Amino acid sequence: MTERPLAGPPPAISEVDPAQLAAWLTARGEPAYRAEQVLGGVHRADATGFDGLSDLPRPLRTALGAAFRFSSISGSHVLTADRAMTAKAVHQLHDGQRVESVLMRYPGRAGAAARTTICISSQAGCAVGCPFCATGQAGFGRQLSPAEIVDQVLHWHRPPWQALGEAWRPGQRSGHYNIVFMGMGEPLNNADRVFEAVRLLNDPSRLGIGARHITVSTSGVVPAIDRMIAELPQVNLAISLHAATDTLRDELVPLNRKWPIEQLIGAGQRFATATGRRVSLEYVMIDGVNDGHEQAQRLAELAAGWLSHVNLIPLNPTPGSRWSGTPRQGIDAFVAVLRQGGVPVTVRDTRGRDIDAACGQLHAQLAGRELPRTDRAVVGAVSA
């Protein structure tokens, strides 16, 4: 920790181990309890930099700034929509790679508390290559580090966004606060770092977000689903199915050629049995492609009889795409078949269409443009 790798920037504070931080402090003649003070300070909602940690001596703040990065995100561009209920960021990382995160707020119904969901990326780009997904079309960039994953969440906790995540109060862990790995990348193709990021998010000396409020969405990396059962049994699992027959799924989710539907559903069933947690089967509705009666019936068979739930997502067409989303009527007919088969089903509301909130889209739009520094984030309000 005290020694920097020869290449690359200093470690980001969000992934520094508390024991290592304590050792670094002790080596500087500081009491070890300051580790807690530092971590407490950087995770406070008003934190803008090491400089602002006013309960620490000034020379220590300067030394922290030289040894660690306050964030692994060097700049962010943010757009808001739906009267600022949805906000989407493109974050720039130290090597110029860019990833996206989205904050979605839902008003509480009849006196209930508001709900906030933050959607984060696990990789820069994605190697799976689903043809309907902007990220998949752009190809793979690189793996994100645990800090680069956690710092997307921290971005929405820090000024000027802390008020947007209103369900969040430091020290008061909200039951209406969720993190979903549904941004760019296939989280289970970066399982070690994603699992470490989940542990950091869980850490009570950091954000302390309960595992039950975290969902990992996967296109079907079967061995890593089994690792989730063993290592993160309290985290929720969403499987991006999108087709109910192998021939169609081979095209829509090319990873299916490696782990076909039967194996994938088998892994989902093992997860449900081992954890007692309902697995969500995600299904993007593409007009005339995967929304026919036969697919609906086959999907009902795959989903019935175990602890699963189908979530239908109208396709958010990517620029230049030959496909469009299934119209309302088609979705209703598909829902009816699933309900008849005894399968619980929901239809996801499509947030932020006007800010290209489908993963990978805003990133593509901003390619080649300079992003403002994180601490001077500019808000491009599309409809505020």
Would you please indicate which residues are annotated as catalytic (active-site) residues? 100, 359
Residue 22 or 191: the one with the smaller Cβ distance to ligand SF4 is 191
Distance in angstroms (rounded) separating the CA atoms of residues 125 and 132: 14
How many residues make up the chain in this entry?
A: 384
Q: Which residue is nearest to ligand SF4 (CB)?
A: 136
**CA angle, residues 17, 22, 23, in degrees to nearest 5:** 100
Residues numbered 119 to 158 that lie near ligand SF4 (CB under 6 A) are: 126, 128-130, 133, 135-136
Query: In whole angstroms, what separates CA 373 from the centre of its chain?
Result: 22
Number of Cβ within a 10 Å radius of residue 204: 10
Site for ligand SF4 in 186-225 (CB under 6 A): 186, 219
Q: What are phi and psi of 185, to 5 degrees?
A: 100, 160
Q: Give bridge partners of residue 205 from the DSSP assignment.
A: none
- Residue 52 interaction partner, one of ligand SF4, ligand SAH, none, beta carbon < 5-8 Å per kind: none
Restricting to residues 258-277, which ones interact with ligand SF4 according to CB under 6 A? Answer: none
- Torsional sign, CA 267, 269, 270, 276: positive
Q: Which is nearer to ligand SF4, 60 or 253 (CB)?
A: 253
Which stretch of DSSP H or E encloses residue 205? Answer: none
Query: Which secondary-structure segment (H or E) carries 142?
Result: strand 140-143
Least Å distance, CB 251 to ligand SF4, is: 12
Among the residue ranges 104-112, 143-151, 212-220, 375-383, the one whose residues contact ligand SAH (CB under 6 A): 212-220
177 binds, options ligand SF4, ligand SAH, none, Cβ within 5 to 8 A by partner type: none
For ligand SAH, how many residues bind (rule: CB under 6 A)?
18
* Residues 6 or more apart whose Cβ sits within 8 Å of residue 70: 12, 13, 42, 49, 50
Closer to ligand SF4 by CB, 126 or 315: give it.
126
Of residues 124 and 232, the one with the C-beta less far from ligand SF4: 124
Terminal CA-to-CA distance of the chain, rounded, Å? 43
Q: Which is nearer to ligand SAH, 218 or 326 (CB)?
A: 218
Residues 103 and 283: their CA atoms lie apart, in Å, by 22
Helix (H) or strand (E) holding 99: strand 98-106
- In the complex, minimum distance from the CB of residue 131 to ligand SAH, in angstroms, rounded to a whole number: 10
The identity of residue 203, as a single letter, is D
Residue 254 burial by Cβ neighbours in a 10 Å radius (0-12, 13-18, 19+): middle
Q: Which residue, 30 or 291, is less far from ligand SF4 as judged by CB?
A: 291
Task: Record the tokens describing residue 60, joined without a space.
Answer: 């220590």
The partner in contact with residue 290, picked from ligand SF4, ligand SAH, none with C-beta cut-offs of 5 to 8 angstroms by kind, is: none
Is 296 among the residues that bind ligand SAH (CB under 6 A)?
no
For residues 78 and 216, which CB has a smaller minimum distance to ligand SAH in the complex? Answer: 216
Is residue 132 close enough to count as binding ligand SAH by CB under 6 A? yes
In 3-state terms, the chain is what percent helix, strand and coil (to 5)?
35, 20, 40
Q: Which of residues 308-367 bind ligand SF4 (CB under 6 A)?
A: 359
Q: Which residue has the tokens 């793979």?
A: 140
129 binds, among ligand SAH, ligand SF4, none (CB under 5 to 8 A by kind): ligand SF4
How far apart (Å, rounded) are the C-alpha atoms in residues 250 and 38? 49
Distance of closest approach, residue 315 Cβ to ligand SF4, in angstroms: 11
Q: Does 218 bind ligand SAH (CB under 6 A)?
A: yes
Query: Can you state the angle between helices 34-42 and 18-27, rounded to 10 degrees?
Result: 120
- Could you give the string, one character per residue 164-203, with x where binding to ligand SAH holds by CB under 6 A and - elsewhere? -----------------xx---x-----------------
State in angstroms the smallest separation of the CB of 191 from ligand SAH: 12
Site for ligand SAH in 54-73 (CB under 6 A): none
- Cis ω for the linkage preceding 314 (within 30 of 0): no
- Residue ranges binding ligand SAH (CB under 6 A): 126, 132-133, 181-182, 186, 217-219, 240, 282, 284, 313, 315-316, 318, 358-359
Binding site for ligand SF4 (CB under 6 A): 126, 128-130, 133, 135-136, 185-186, 219, 240, 359
